[in-house]
Amino acid sequence: MDSIYASSSCTVPHLLRRDTLLLLPRTLNLSASSALQRTKRARRVRISSSAATNGAVSRALQGVTNTALEQLDIERGVCIPFRKYSPEIVRNNVLESRGSTLSLMLRGVEIVWNLGLYWSNLVYDFLVGRDEEVVPYRARQLRNLLCDLGPSFIKAGQVLANRPDIIREDYMNELCILQDDVPSFPNQIAFRIIEEDLGQPLEAVFSKISSETIAAASLGQVYRATLRATGEDVAIKVQRPGIEPIIYRDLFLFRTLASFLNGISIQKLGCNAELIVDEFGEKLLEELDYTLEARNLEDFLENFKNDPTVKIPRVYKQFSGPRVLVMEWIDGIRCTNPQAIKEAGIDVDGFLTIGVSAALRQLLEFGLFHGDPHPGNIFAMRDGRIAYVDFGNVAVLSQQNKQILIDAVVHAVNEDYAEMANDFTRLGFLSPGTDVNPIIPALEAIWQNSAGKGLSDFNFRSVTGKFNQLVYNYPIRIPERFSLVIRSLLTQEGICFTLKPDFKFLEVAYPYVAKRLLTDPNPALRERLIQVLFKDGLFQWKRLENLIVLAKENVAKMSNNPALKVKDTQIQRDLKVERKLDLTDTIKDGARLFFVDEGIRRQLLLALTEDSKLHIEELVDVYRLVEDQIDIPSVAVEVARDLPTVVRDLLLSWSESILSDR
């Protein structure tokens, strides 16, 4: 998947990140090569100190097989006791198969020949001075080449389409087409695979099945069918025939090549090449197991079981297996058809609101989110719900990662760019020990330029475009799970713009985030709320009022399905929905912190007496905002119940301070 790097003195252009030479040249103007060399030396910033780099290189070259996987676990904040992927599993699977040596040799020759021919064309374009003008053609040629080389390269192309740290933007845009434009395999083969996994003829389970594929992807394709026993319409996902040994063989070749590139890739990308291949291989083998996708479906169903705005298809595990997945058919409207959505009586603004809310819940609340929400995987149901399909590509964020993401948002709000840069290291974008000082001005420029425009002009695509330039020019690696986060947000924002060109993503997202900060029971989020409310030691009264207003707005909108022009009262009765902004736990925690934490107590008292005056008016304004949301007697009872715990914590805090003084 990764390829051959050249030294930084190489003048041959390439489409990949600056100062790296992978499979493809980045296009430059030959007549300006000497000037470009000076520009490259001026613009290139070596973030890591030489000592840190040399230490990282020596550690990477020690030959410890699982170092890359261990690093991934540390970054993710998780420990995986059982893996579908490891270098040993791949190697054993390939080398123990009959005729493995010949197969590897033939496949290696095929890859080298095809990619070498493509490379020679790019070098020729550069030498004759037409490299820039043929970029669109060469990008299409690359897409077709990856498709011809098979599923592993199609998936690699899909990954590269979201990796601005590796490949230039014009090629990324072309590779995005690989998401949908994949040829199908014959029905006869697909039906035979279904029968093999079912252990019985198709006719015994399905009364009818579509003669044409509904969708085709790099790993499988989908048919529509009807269950004979119940008459229910279902979707059948079938894996491509013989794909597993092909995937294992290609992963073995990818990692064999990567093992020779660790030293260079650490210098250029901030990580070893094996880590990138391991990250890719781990995700690819997960997608190859449809039993895992069935479990993903069940997890999403559990997460959204009480949400009246989201539809997740039911999975029929009795008819599913490693190569076949049978799930409920979703009869919805494609999200790229705004006219059909309006004709169905769905309010577009309301539908966009529930879509953004569902996406943010996946990311910040559940830590389990759909990694490929392109228009073919998201539908508008006629009852106003948003429906998701295809759960093979999902990503998990640990509690640790979610908290660091929220930290990054808080640091951005408070314009603390030094801590924001450190958050990048904690999330795995930068290798440990990296000097982040050169990145801080770039982050500040990106955020201030984007946030300065206000909500009316802010969009993720413009921010991502600037961020792409940052990661392209610095040794920053985008971890796989965060490339999925970025793709997910960009894709869903694009769907929003298709339905409503003047849609303001943050105007919908802010109310949800405000509600989470004010009401989430996680103590870590309480700490982030305090950080948001204090800036430079001063309490931000206006910010608190805005948070409350936005949170109330979110609760009011989501208490019913905002996409329904005619409300379905039965749905609202059957499902539990929030009617008020529940601040009980927040008030309890605030009272506890006031009594127990001397620092917080001092800050709050100073907030009430800033500028040599009592801020009673501000306090009254805040109370008026929440008085209709709070049941005072209930809150008083809860605080009273919590009083013994508060007294205990107060005594412990007091005794600790006495002991520390001694």
CB within 8 A of 440, min separation 6: which ones?
A: 417, 418, 420, 421
pLDDT digits (tens, 9 = 90+) for 529-584: 777 777 776 777 777 777 787 777 777 777 666 666 555 545 444 444 456 667 76
Q: Pick the more confident residue, 513 or 576.
A: 513
- Residue tagged 């509904």 (tokens): 214
pLDDT digits (tens, 9 = 90+) for 319-339: 999 999 999 999 999 887 888
Model pLDDT, residue 388: 94
* 257, 393: one domain: no
Model pLDDT, residue 3: 33
Tokens of 275: 């880590």
Model pLDDT, residue 190: 94
- Residue tagged 């995987």 (tokens): 377
Tokens of 223: 């048919």
Q: Per the domain annotation, does 84 fall within a domain?
A: yes
Q: Per the domain annotation, does 563 fall within a domain?
A: yes
Cα–Cα distance for residue pair 179/197, rounded to 1 Å: 27
- Residue tagged 């099945």 (tokens): 209
- Tell me how far CA of residue 204 lies from CA of 83, 213, 229, 291, in angstroms: 36, 21, 9, 22
Model pLDDT, residue 416: 82
221, pLDDT greater than 50: yes
Cα–Cα distance for residue pair 574/534, rounded to 1 Å: 41
* 636, 561: one domain: yes
Contact in structure between 554 and 546 (CB atoms under 8 Å) = no
Model pLDDT, residue 553: 75
Long-range contacts of 614-623 (CB under 8 A, 24+ apart): 615/541, 618/541, 621/541, 621/545, 622/541, 622/544, 622/545, 622/548
* 617, 654: one domain: yes
With residue 227 as reference, give the H or E element that holds it.
strand 220-227
2, pLDDT greater than 50: no
pLDDT digits (tens, 9 = 90+) for 338-370: 889 888 888 888 898 888 889 988 988 888 989
Cα–Cα distance for residue pair 516/514, rounded to 1 Å: 5
* 414, 531: one domain: no
Model pLDDT, residue 6: 30
CB within 8 A of 197, min separation 6: which ones?
A: 320, 321, 322, 323, 324
116, pLDDT greater than 80: yes
What single DSSP character describes residue 313? P
- Of 446, 469, 502, which residue constitutes the final position of a domain? 502
pLDDT digits (tens, 9 = 90+) for 190-216: 999 999 998 999 999 999 999 999 988
* 442, 566: one domain: no
Q: Per the domain annotation, does 651 fall within a domain?
A: yes
* 538, 400: one domain: no
55, pLDDT greater than 90: no
Q: What percentage of the chain exceeds 90 in pLDDT?
A: 18
Judged on CB neighbours under 10 Å (0-12, 13-18, 19+), 156 is buried
Tell me the β-bridge partners of 227. Answer: 206
Q: Pick the more confident residue, 152 or 569.
A: 152
* 275, 420: one domain: no
Tokens of 391: 């759960």
Cα separation of the two ends of the chain: 61
pLDDT digits (tens, 9 = 90+) for 455-472: 556 667 777 777 777 776
Cα–Cα distance for residue pair 483/528, rounded to 1 Å: 25
19, pLDDT greater than 70: no
Model pLDDT, residue 4: 29
Q: Per the domain annotation, does 551 fall within a domain?
A: yes
**Which of 588, 519, 581 has the alpha carbon at shortest distance from 555?**
581
Cα–Cα distance for residue pair 188/171, rounded to 1 Å: 36
Q: In what order do the strands lie in the sheet with 386-388?
A: 310-311, 386-388, 378-380, 333-334
Average pLDDT, the chain: 76
Cα–Cα distance for residue pair 89/323, rounded to 1 Å: 20
Q: How many CB atoms are located within 10 Å of the residue 295 CB?
A: 15
Tokens of 519: 């009401």
Contact in structure between 14 and 22 (CB atoms under 8 Å) = yes
In the chain, what is the greatest distance between 2 CA atoms, to the nearest angstrom? 84
Model pLDDT, residue 324: 96
Where does the pLDDT of residue 188 fall: very low under 50, low under 70, confident under 90, or very high at 90 and above?
very high
Residues in the chain: 662
Where does the pLDDT of residue 39 fall: very low under 50, low under 70, confident under 90, or very high at 90 and above?
very low
Q: How many domains does the chain have?
A: 3
* 480, 536: one domain: no
Q: Per the domain annotation, does 641 fall within a domain?
A: yes
Where does the pLDDT of residue 47 fall: very low under 50, low under 70, confident under 90, or very high at 90 and above?
very low
Domain carrying residue 625: 526-661
**Which of 385, 392, 391, 394 has the alpha carbon at shortest distance from 331?**
385
Cα–Cα distance for residue pair 271/506, rounded to 1 Å: 33
3-state SS class at 48? coil
Contact in structure between 168 and 26 (CB atoms under 8 Å) = yes
* 390, 267: one domain: no
22, pLDDT greater than 60: no
Model pLDDT, residue 61: 38
Model pLDDT, residue 194: 95
* 478, 610: one domain: no
Instruction: Choose from 184-193, 443-452, 606-615 the range with maximum mean pLDDT.
Output: 184-193
40, pLDDT greater than 50: no
* 381, 491: one domain: yes
* 487, 415: one domain: yes
Cα–Cα distance for residue pair 241/415, rounded to 1 Å: 53
pLDDT digits (tens, 9 = 90+) for 396-427: 888 888 888 878 877 877 778 888 888 888 88
Model pLDDT, residue 218: 78
Q: Per the domain annotation, does 326 fall within a domain?
A: no
CB within 8 A of 631, min separation 6: which ones?
A: none
Model pLDDT, residue 448: 72
121, pLDDT greater than 70: yes
- Residue tagged 């040629």 (tokens): 141
CA 220 to chain centroid, in Å, comes to 23
pLDDT digits (tens, 9 = 90+) for 56-106: 333 343 444 456 667 666 666 666 666 778 888 888 888 887 778 888 889
Q: How many CA atoms lie within 13 A of 214 on its CB side?
A: 18
CA 404 to chain centroid, in Å, comes to 14
Q: Per the domain annotation, does 4 fall within a domain?
A: no
Cα–Cα distance for residue pair 213/222, rounded to 1 Å: 6
Q: Is 372 a catalytic residue?
A: yes
Q: Per the domain annotation, does 172 fall within a domain?
A: yes
Tell me the β-bridge partners of 220. Answer: 239
Q: Which among 2, 19, 372, 407 is annotated as catalytic? A: 372
638, pLDDT greater than 70: no
Q: Pick the more confident residue, 288 or 507.
A: 288
Where does the pLDDT of residue 486 fall: very low under 50, low under 70, confident under 90, or very high at 90 and above?
confident
Where does the pLDDT of residue 12 fall: very low under 50, low under 70, confident under 90, or very high at 90 and above?
very low
